[in-house]
């Protein structure tokens, strides 16, 4: 999945070539230095020691990327600086900012992990290494199920949530700066962003990033439609400005009358969500009537419900359109009250009501936890949320204590967002989801029961391993099979999937049946010999005897009767005597 953003172009590696590149790019280097100066202004929540470490990481990255340029012609270092800037807006800790600055150093510049550990410590080196591994993943299929598996695998592989946050910042900056790329490359990256990265941002609750990634993808994938919708929305703004202003005035007046202190924000549907609604519901632009809505931000949780009462007194609510995501939050932590009211012109207008802290989580999701002190994984106190203030970007806090809390939070989240699954590749790059603790035998049966039944050995990432080895996300698993091989009863001690367990049991039962049938046949032959007879075959004139005998014994077919004899459920001598009598009558 490695999109080397706006394509780093490497100058000749000779010393002369590097000096020439450096000399030619002096004005550009000044631009890079200026952009780093702008980054340091965003780091005012870190202490002096952390800022010094970030500066060291910048110098290291600047040196590593010397002579590399983006497709736009800018020095490549401007990209890591921009990514670090986005992480700083999310108030991530110093280690994450350093990893953002060096996120391409291992892959593009030949820097090794031991070198990073020595210079910057193991935690930062692990983050950079995690980002490098994610870059090596290749997303090759557009099948929806595969896209979903890929998203899960990406999350499962990043054991530290900060890896995903830096990766999203990296992709966001790439999407903002794709103009210099060829059209087909832009389309490929935009498609990948829409299929993989935007849903991950949504799952982590980073709604602002989610919306922007969708908008930018839409712009590059459907430029004409994006342009037409953009013009239509601009016109609609003019037509609907009066009604939007009137609703806002009425709402503010209603809250003032009830002495409830709130902030009222108008909000507009994104172009992509309008396009998606038009396509899914077969609507024209004129039929999409919820382009504009309102967000009400209040001080405390009980005030959310008071605000709802004020709105429902002001305008009539639409039945069936109220949703309480405060009592039952969404999976990504999102909390708000949603209600749709009928405006004075008869159009439907959606209102979202939330507290300041809920607003921060709604916009920044997991990243918002760096803003609020948490006690372990417990809820944030409303008073503290009020004290810290509403707006994520404007909040200036002493994060020295937060960093310790952030690491506790990381331990709690330590992705897995999907704790019970591992995602592995087949040699043909298909992704399979298996339960945690699954082994190559589970993998073999997940592919096909024949592969499982004849499995003799396995390789993980090209290395031979024992069949009881636990699989990890991202492993490429290969099964070695042999035609004469059979399942081993000992496998039942370590397989984790129900499918593998039932298939192994079924095979063993079938095998037991065949052996019992063979034994039953021998025992009955012996008993008949004592009667001076031989065992009649199925296709002889005496075959009718078998039908009479199975009716007498209560079995459905001959093989079932022989199996019962072999298992000791029927006595061979009694069956032989009955058969002798039937043969005599025949």
Contact 428, 434 (CB under 8 A): no
List the alpha helices (DSSP H) in 352-397: 356-364, 382-388
Compute CA distances 337 → 307, 322, 350, 470, whole Å.
10, 8, 10, 44
Distance CA 431, CA 178 (A): 29
In this prediction, residue 66 carries a pLDDT of 84
Q: What is the reported pLDDT for 138? A: 55
User: So what's the pLDDT on residue 151?
Assistant: 53
Q: Is the pLDDT of residue 23 over 60?
A: no
Alpha-helix runs per DSSP H in 177-300? 183-192, 198-203, 207-221, 223-257, 271-281
> Percentage of the chain with pLDDT > 90?
19
* Band (101; pLDDT cuts 50, 70, 90): very high
Question: What pTM, to 2 d.p., does this model score?
Answer: 0.59
Superfamily for domain range 225-413 = Beta Polymerase, domain 2 (3.30.460.10)
The residues spanned by each domain of the chain are: 9-221, 225-413, 421-496, 509-585
In contact, 324 and 334? CB cutoff 8 Å:
no
Q: Does residue 59 surpass a pLDDT of 50?
A: yes
Q: Is the pLDDT of residue 111 over 50?
A: yes
3-state DSSP helix/strand/coil percent for the chain, to nearest 5?
60, 10, 30
64 and 111 in contact (C-beta within 8 Å)?
yes
Question: What is the full DSSP assignment across 168-199?
Answer: HHHHHHHHHT-TTS-HHHHHHHHHHIIIIIHH
Does 314 have pLDDT greater than 80? yes
pLDDT of residue 404: 32
**190 touches 217 (CB < 8 A):** yes
What digits encode the pLDDT tens for the residues 181-218? 888 888 888 988 887 788 778 767 778 888 899 999 99
Higher-pLDDT residue of 497, 402: 497
Q: Which residues contact 540 (CB under 8 A, 6 or more apart)?
A: none
Q: What is the pLDDT of residue 411?
A: 30
Fold classification of 421-496 (topology level): Ubiquitin-like (UB roll) (3.10.20)
Cα(86)–Cα(363) distance, integer angstroms: 14
- Per the model's pLDDT, the better-predicted residue between 441 and 378 turns out to be 441
Q: What rounded mean pLDDT belongs to the chain?
A: 77
Contact status, residue 19 vs residue 66, Cβ threshold 8 Å: no
Q: Which of 174, 190, 185 is nearest to 76 (CA)?
A: 174
Owner of token pair 């780091």: 43
Indicate the range of 128-142, 231-245, 539-553 predicted with least confidence. 128-142
pLDDT of residue 148: 52
Contacts of 493 (CB under 8 A, 6+ apart): none
Tens of pLDDT, residue by residue over 229-271, are 989 888 877 777 777 888 888 899 999 998 899 998 887 788 9
Q: What is the pLDDT of residue 444?
A: 94
Q: Averaged over 315-327, what is the pLDDT? A: 87
Q: Kindly list the catalytic residues.
A: 107-108
Specify whether domain 9-221 bears CATH 1.10.3210.10: yes
| pLDDT at residue 366, as a whole number | 59
Higher pLDDT, 226 or 435: 226
Edge-to-edge strands, sheet with 477-481? 463-465, 455-460, 477-481
In tens, the pLDDT along 335-373 reads 899 998 888 777 788 899 999 888 887 777 656 655 443
- Provide the sign of the torsion angle of the four alpha carbons 228, 231, 235, 238, taken in this order: positive
Confidence of residue 392 (pLDDT cuts 50, 70, 90): very low
Q: Tell whether the model's pLDDT for residue 30 goes beyond 80.
A: no
User: What's the whole-number mean pLDDT along residues 39-43?
Assistant: 84
Report the SS3 class of residue 455.
strand
Judge whether 453 and 495 are in contact, CB under 8 Å: no
Least confident of 159-163, 442-446, 467-471, 499-503: 159-163
Percent of the chain's residues with pLDDT above 70: 77
Residue 571 vs residue 290, higher pLDDT: 571
pLDDT of residue 102 exceeding 70: yes
Neighbours of 569 (CB within 10 A): 13
């Amino acid at each position: 999945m490695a999109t080397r953003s706006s394509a780093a172009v490497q100058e000749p590696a000779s010393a002369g070539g590097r000096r020439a590149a450096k000399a030619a790019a002096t004005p550009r280097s000044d631009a890079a230095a200026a952009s780093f100066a702008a980054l340091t202004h965003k780091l005012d929540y870190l202490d002096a020691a952390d800022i010094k470490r970030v500066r060291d990481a910048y110098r290291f990255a600047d040196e590593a990327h010397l002579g590399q340029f983006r497709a736009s012609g800018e020095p490549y270092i401007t990209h890591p600086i921009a990514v670090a800037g986005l992480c700083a807006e999310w108030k991530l800790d110093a280690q994450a900012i350093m990893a953002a600055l060096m996120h391409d150093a291992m892959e593009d510049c030949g820097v090794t992990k031991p070198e990073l550990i020595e210079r910057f410590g193991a935690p930062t080196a692990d983050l950079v290494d995690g980002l490098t591994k994610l870059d090596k993943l290749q997303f090759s299929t557009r099948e929806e199920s595969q896209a979903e598996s890929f998203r899960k695998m990406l999350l499962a592989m990043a054991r530290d949530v900060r890896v995903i946050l830096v990766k999203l910042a990296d992709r966001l900056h790439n999407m903002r700066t794709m103009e210099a790329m060829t059209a087909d490359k832009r389309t490929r990256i935009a498609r990948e962003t829409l299929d993989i990265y935007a849903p991950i941002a949504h799952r982590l609750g980073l709604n602002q990033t989610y919306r922007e990634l969708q908008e930018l993808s839409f712009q590059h994938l459907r430029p004409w439609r994006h342009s037409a919708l953009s013009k239509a929305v601009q016109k609609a703004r003019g037509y609907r400005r009066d009604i939007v202003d009137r609703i806002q005035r009425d709402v503010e007046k209603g809250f003032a009358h009830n002495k409830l202190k709130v902030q009222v924000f108008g909000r507009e549907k994104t172009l992509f969500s309008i396009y998606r609604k038009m396509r899914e519901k077969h609507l024209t632009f004129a039929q999409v009537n919820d382009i504009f809505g309102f967000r009400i931000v209040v001080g405390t949780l009980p005030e959310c419900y008071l605000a709802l009462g004020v709105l429902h007194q002001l305008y009539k609510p639409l039945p069936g359109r109220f949703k309480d995501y405060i009592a039952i939050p969404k999976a990504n932590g999102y909390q708000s009250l949603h209600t749709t009211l009928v405006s004075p012109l008869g159009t439907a207008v959606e209102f979202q009501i939330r507290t300041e802290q809920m607003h921060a989580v709604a916009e920044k999701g997991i990243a918002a936890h760096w803003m609020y002190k948490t006690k372990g994984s417990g809820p944030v106190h409303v008073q503290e949320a009020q004290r810290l203030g509403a707006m994520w970007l404007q909040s200036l806090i002493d994060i020295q204590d937060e960093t310790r809390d952030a690491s506790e939070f990381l331990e709690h989240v330590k992705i897995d967002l999907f704790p019970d699954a591992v995602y592995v590749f087949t040699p043909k790059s298909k992704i399979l989801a298996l339960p945690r603790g699954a082994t190559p035998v589970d993998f073999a049966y997940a592919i096909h029961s024949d592969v499982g039944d004849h499995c003799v050995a396995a390789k993980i990432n090209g290395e031979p391993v024992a069949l009881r080895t636990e699989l990890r996300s991202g492993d490429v698993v290969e099964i070695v099979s042999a035609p004469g091989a059979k399942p081993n009863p000992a496998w039942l001690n370590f397989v984790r999937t129900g499918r593998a367990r039932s298939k192994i049991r079924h095979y063993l039962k079938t095998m037991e049946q065949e052996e019992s049938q063979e034994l039953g046949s021998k025992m009955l032959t012996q008993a008949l010999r004592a009667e001076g007879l031989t065992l009649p075959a199925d296709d002889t004139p005496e075959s009718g005897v078998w039908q009479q005998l199975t009716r007498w014994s209560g079995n459905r077919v001959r093989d079932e009767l022989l199996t019962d004899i072999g298992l000791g459920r029927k006595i061979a001598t009694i069956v032989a005597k009955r058969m002798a009598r039937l043969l005599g009558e025949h």
